[in-house]
Structure 1
Amino acid sequence: MKQIKYIRRAAPPHMVGDGFKVRTFISSAMWKDMSPFLMLDYIEPTNYLPTDHPRGVDVHPHKGFETVSILWEGALAHEDSSGGKGKLFAGDVQWMTAGAGILHKEFHEEEFSKKGGVLHGAQLWVNLPAKNKSTAPAYQDISSTNIPEIALPDEKGKIRIIAGTMNGVKGPANTFTRINIFDAHVHANADFEFNVTEGDHTTVLVLKGTALVNDDKTVREGDMLIFDNAGESIRVQTNNETHLLLLSGEPINEPVAAYGPFVMNTQQEIIDAIDDFNAGKFGHLN
């Protein structure tokens, strides 16, 4: 059984652009315990009033990693310099490989903006190994209907397998390294286990409710649990309606050099990335 190493609470909420109220859970000081995960911005459930001008984040670059956007409520629209575009609705996931460099923008979807409503989701940054940092940019738009679920015994809830494999059920996301992303929606009085790989970095974010973990630690909404690498299972017993997000992955044991939206291995590569961006090598997007 994986033991809890420590528990982290998020920083106070802040706005990203004018459309995303987020709490950041992963800092650079945690990368040694979190690799390949670089960032987790939790988009708190926030009600937005109707508007004719969609809120969001305008054109910005990314290079050297992947972004994973998970949406639980609301609707988003995105577009990038490679010609990719699409929309996300409740339950959907967008997996963007920035790789060699991309320009990107994301806003509240037009009809959602006009009607208003609650937006609730999360965005992860997932590192790429050095050998894959120059891969061509790409998108995986993953509909909720294509995300398999594991039903818990006695109709106590479900675990959506976004990436990786649990109990023989494989998620739809294609990844460069071994990654698990499990989205668990659990009723009160459930008793179950997450199964992960020995040696992988593993964390569980409590998005709603309270639970007893590994028989001895009560956790609550807003806790992020970072586990030791040893062990292959995590026991969870819920007290009420609970929403958990599990992330686990094979560590990328390489140096990390990061500057804003660029994540490389050396400072010279960061300088080169900035030069490429300024030279227009990431393409164009209005």
Structure 2
Amino acid sequence: MKTRSLELVASPKEPHFVGDGFRVHNFIPSGFRMDMQRMSPFILLDYNSTYYFPPSDTPKGVDVHPHRGFETVTIAYKGRVQHHDSSGGGGVIGEGDIQWMTAASGVLHKEYHEKEWSKKGGDFQMVQLWVNLPAKFKMSSPRYQAIKSDNLNRYEFEHNAGSVEVIAGEYKGIKGVANTFTPIHMFNIKLNEGNIAELNFPQNYNTALLVLEGSIVINGKEEVPTDHLALMANDGEIFRLEAKEDAVVLVMSGEPINEPIAAQGPFVMNTREELMQAFNDFKEGKFGVLEDNIPD
């Protein structure tokens, strides 16, 4: 098999707030040559790098908003998020947990700091990833997968070198618990200083690594610091990452969906006509009902 090379290392852009509860750096889509088609099936990546929120009796977050045509994947590293949607999904995403929401034909959604966590405040670190759906699934029924940290399957390296939490796909025979519509591998690699993890994905799979803690070296050559994203080229299958210091790395690799993309705001469809229909359906109340207030 051929070694996959590093295409670029993207520095975090200036952060902006989504609502008042999520201070994010946007990596996908971006000016780093990482548009929706280049990164398919991953069409958005917002990264809330570690940020301290002071105590607040009023939880910060994002008010009711619609989604159609894709999935949202929220991964909590620090802090706690509560959320609800108009299809009946909802709950609390605690540290280490994952919320995998399939908006598909359409939901209303809201997300905010969990009430008790908000009262205490603290460091907050999250990733939200949007995963596109093929045309044949865009109007399927919404669904929700609540993945608790305790339920993740893990691969343990020898000699206490670290571990791999397999969210989706497979790593060395260990399978992820998330069900996906297209082939996707998604891991949290936790690697102790000086140790190496080898990764192997099909050459055509679009692949990126987000360094959440520490720093890594790819293929013994290029360093990727904390809060930076490494885009791998589509020129091979195997590559290695070494932890220069204790590191946490989100790895995502997926088979591209080779279909047209029509995207605007919270809707991602295949044609302009479908996009306009999504806006009309939202205006006509076809996404259900969800109150603005934060439940007790």
TM-score by structure 1 length?
A: 0.97
* Partner residue, 1:21: 23
Conserved in 1, the CA contact under 8 Å of 2:206 and 2:234?
A: yes
Q: Which residue of the other structure, out of 86, 91, 98, is the alignment partner of 1:93? A: 98
Contact 2:164–2:187 at 8 Å: present in 1 too? yes
Instruction: Specify the alignment match of 1:134 in structure 2.
Output: 139
For 2:200, the equivalent position in structure 1 comes to: 195
What amino acid sits opposite 1:67 in the alignment? T
- Asked whether the equivalents of residues 204 and 226 of structure 1 are also in contact (C-alpha less than 8 Å), the reply is yes
Q: Could you give the per-residue CA deviations for residues 77-105 of structure 1, whole angstroms, max 9, x where no partner exists?
A: 11011122211111000000000010000
Q: How does 1:117-128 map to 2 (within 5 A)?
A: 117-128=122-133
1:162 and 2:164 matched = no
Task: Please state whether the residue corresponding to 2:273 is helix, strand or coil.
Answer: helix
User: Matches of residues 1-286 of structure 1 in structure 2 within 5 Å?
Assistant: 1-27=3-29, 30=34, 31-286=36-291
Moved over 6 A (4+): none
* Per-residue deviation, 1:267: 0.8
1:198, distance to aligned residue in structure 2 (A): 3.3
Instruction: Name the stretch that deviates more: 258-267 or 186-195.
Output: 186-195
Letter in 2 for 1:15: F
Give unpaired runs (5+ residues) of structure 2: 292-296
Identify if the C-alpha distance between structure 1 residues 45 and 223 changes in structure 2 by more than 3 Å, giving closer, same or farther. Answer: closer
- Distance (whole Å) between structure 1 residues aligned to residue 213 and residue 95 of structure 2: 17
One-letter amino acid of the structure 2 residue matched with residue 188 of structure 1: E
CA contact (8 A) 2:49 2:212 kept: no
> What is the deviation of 1:73?
1.2
Which amino acid letter does the alignment assign opposite residue 8 of structure 1? Answer: A
Q: Distance in 2 between matches of 1:246 and 1:253?
A: 22
Work out whether residues 81 and 284 of structure 1, in 8 Å CA contact, stay in contact via their aligned partners in 2. yes
Read off the aligned partner of 2:241 and give its amino acid letter: V
- 1:126-173 deviations in whole A, cap 9, x for unaligned? 000001100111100000011111112221111110011110100000
Shift of 1:26: 1.0
Q: Would the aligned equivalents of 2:262 and 2:271 in 1 still touch at CA under 8 Å?
A: yes
Aligned residue identity for 2:167: I
- SS of match in other structure, 1:272: helix
1:207-226 CA distance string (max 9 Å, x none) = 22222211221221232111
Rounded Cα–Cα distance in structure 2 between residues aligned with 1:207 and 1:126: 20
Instruction: Tell me how far apart the structure 2 counterparts of residues 84 and 211 of structure 1 sit (CA, whole Å).
Output: 37
Contact 2:49–2:227 (8 Å) recurs in 1: no
Q: Deviations over 1:13-61 (max 9, x none)?
A: 1111111111111116522321000111111112212221111001000
1:75–1:109 contact (8 Å) kept in structure 2: yes
Q: Secondary structure at the match of 1:269?
A: helix
Cα distance, 1:242 vs. partner? 1.2
**Kept after mapping to 2: 8 A contact 1:63/1:99:** yes
CA contact (8 A) 1:66 1:125 kept: yes
Gap regions ≥5 residues in structure 1:
none
Moved more, 195-204 or 235-244: 195-204
Amino-acid identity (%)? 47
TM-score (norm 2): 0.94
Cα RMSD, aligned residues only? 1.2
Q: Tell me the distance in 1 between the aligned counterparts of 2:60 and 2:24.
A: 14
